[in-house]
Every structure is written in structure tokens, then in C-alpha cells.
Amino acid sequence: MGSFQEICRERRDRSVFTGIIIMGFLLVLKEKPQLVTAVPLAVSSAVAGALSMLLVRKGCGIQKVGLSMVLGGALSNLYDRFKRGYVVDYFSFSLPGIKKVVFNLGDLFVFLGTALFLLGEMGEEFKKKVD
């Protein structure tokens, strides 16, 4: 039976690997701008499919809210991308040691929704390990 810290460490290791893959993917996107619209559309479709499968399950409220937020933020950014050709960013700030951070409400919803979804998943994993 793993502790909550072990579960978090396991998830963190997977997150680092995923971050490396995303950074490589972003480099590819710079060279192929047509993918900038196609890939988010495909990912949004996958999130919508995952949400529709999750909605029929009992419980999982945090995950449902999280995926709904991710989908809403993604669709907001997709709308901007199709309508204007780029995503409008509304907020920016700088912190010591961090370059300027620029984002919009869609980005914020994607980030917060992902965090909620992961917290819900970790909570369920922890419950399974405890039981």
C-alpha cells in the first residue's frame, strides 16, 4: 500500500516526462503552423470524448468539473484561433527570476481544470490504495 507522498512522486515523475514531450512538440509546431490549429482541435475532441464517458459514471465530480473547465478553455482558445488566426492574451505579469508570463482566461481554465482533474485522480488512487 503506497502513501499519498509516493503516489504524488509517481505522478510527478510522469509529469516531468510529459513536459519534455510537450517541449519537443512545441518546437515542431514552430516549423509547421498548420498544426497549431489541427492539434488543439484533435485534443479538444479527445477531451470532449473523455468527458462524455466520464459523465455517465457515478461520482468523479472533481474530475468532471476539471475536464469541463479544460474543454471550455480549449474551445475558447480554438474560437480565437479560427476567428482571428491567433489567440488573444489578456493578462501578463513578471516575477523575479521568471520571464514575462502572458495568458488569457482560456489558458487559466485549462490550467485550473487540469489541476482539478489530476487532484481528483490522485484522490481516487489514494482511496484505492487505502482500501
131 a catalytic residue: no
**Burial tier of 60 (Cβ tally within 10 Å: 0-12, 13-18, 19+):** middle
CB atoms within 10 A of CB 28: 10
Identify the active-site residue in 13, 80, 107, 131: 107
Catalytic residues: 89, 107
